[in-house]
Amino acid sequence: MTTTLGKLERISLREAWRHEATEFTPWLAQAENLNQLADSLGLSELELVQTEYPVGDFYLDILCSDDDGEVMIENQLDKTNHTHLGQILTYAAGVGAKKVIWVAESFRPEHVAALEFLNQNTTSDLNFFAVEMELWRIENSPMAPSFNIVVKPNDWAKIGRESARVAAATTPVKQLQLKFWTAFVAHLDASRNGIRPQKAGAKHWLSMAMGRSGFHISATINSREDRLGIEVYIDSQKSKEHYQHLLNKRQTIEQQLGFSLDWQELPDSHACRIAMYRPDSKLEDEAKWSEYFGWLSDIASKLMTVFKPLIRDLP
């Protein structure tokens, strides 16, 4: 028996969308399409903030957020050009983007090289992606979209360069912080407990996503006081109001956790924190790091379990 096969045909984006701003951008900004793009890039869920977001006298196509912060998307229906490259850099500076995604029908080699250069020469907190948008059809079937990743950051290389930069330019404490958090991230990855940390850096904290912008869990280490900490950090638009909602449930929360927390409204700050501390924890004592990692991940898991549904339901 002979199997009949259809012919797969690539379709120009212009056949589906004639106008970039009024047709293509609104389509891409729909939740299901943002999620497909995020899946292709290996990112967490992208939450739409606004289309045609004003940046000075210009307008960014799509502003989103994810667990790490602001994500900007600039889209084109045609081959990339220098105008859009300039816009991307302007918008990234204007919104303080953590991730920059450029979507186009095809990429010129010069623009691929430019984005790769930026990924190689910026910090681990800033990442550039190039995505070719494709449309495919089999005979008379509906057109199907596909996202082809052309450029993405090399996390391993960035971490290596960041380690070298820190080793050359910062204090021994900063070097040890980077080493500590890098090892802790590896511990979390190996434990597969569902906690998603940010990239390790030479600083006294490491953030972990909670699934809602403005809220995260932070592991901290205070070298001066030899103290580990783990906290729910609230830096939302309504930080004080959200903190009060949670404080009203303090007794129930602490009963579910099985331990008390240090509730800090921080009246002189926009943010608030709800923390747990472990004294006598010396960063320099590398022999105890595995013990520290176990404590941090255990408390973080409990905080995530109890707080995440409460945070999800906050107004």
Render pLDDT for 158-202 as a digit per residue (tens, 0 to 9): 555 555 555 555 677 878 888 999 999 999 988 877 788 888 887
Q: What are the tens digits of pLDDT across the range 259-314?
A: 999 999 998 888 899 999 999 999 999 999 999 999 999 999 999 999 999 998 98
Split at pLDDT 50, 70, 90, the class of 1 is low
- Percent of the chain at pLDDT above 70? 93
CA distance 253 to 173: 35
- What is the separation, in whole angstroms, between the first and last Cα of the chain? 61
Tokens describing residue 229: 């900490």
- Per-residue pLDDT at 94: 85
Residue 225 has pLDDT above 90, yes or no: no
- Per-residue pLDDT at 165: 57
If you ran DSSP here, which 8-state letter would residue 79 be given? B
CA distance 239 to 265: 9
Walk across the sheet containing 227-234 and list its strands: 205-209, 215-222, 227-234, 272-278, 262-264
If you ran DSSP here, which 8-state letter would residue 239 be given? H
- Per-residue pLDDT at 156: 52
* Side-chain half-sphere exposure of 80, counting CA atoms within 13 A: 26
- Per-residue pLDDT at 147: 93
Phi, psi at 51, each rounded to 5°: -95, 155
Yes or no: say if 3 and 30 are a contact pair by the CB < 8 Å rule: no
Where are the domain boundaries for CATH 3.40.1350.10 in the chain? 8-153
- Per-residue pLDDT at 166: 55
Residue 107 has pLDDT above 60, yes or no: yes
Phi, psi at 61, each rounded to 5°: -55, -55
CA distance 39 to 147: 10
Where are the domain boundaries for CATH 3.30.1460 in the chain? 156-312
Strand partners, 208: 197, 217
Pairing relationship of beta strands 8-11 and 99-104 according to DSSP bridges: unpaired
Q: What are the tens digits of pLDDT across the range 256-271?
A: 999 999 999 998 888 8
- Percent of the chain at pLDDT above 90? 51
Q: Which CATH architecture is the domain 8-153 placed in?
A: 3-Layer(aba) Sandwich (3.40)
Q: Which residues contact 299 (CB under 8 A, 6 or more apart)?
A: 230, 276
Yes or no: say if 159 and 177 are a contact pair by the CB < 8 Å rule: no
Q: According to the CATH classification, is domain 156-312 in 3.30.1460? A: yes
Say how far residue 42 (Cα) sits from the centre of its chain. Answer: 11
Region 124-149: mean pLDDT is 88
- Per-residue pLDDT at 300: 94
User: For residue 253, which of 303, 199, 203 has the smallest C-alpha distance?
Assistant: 303
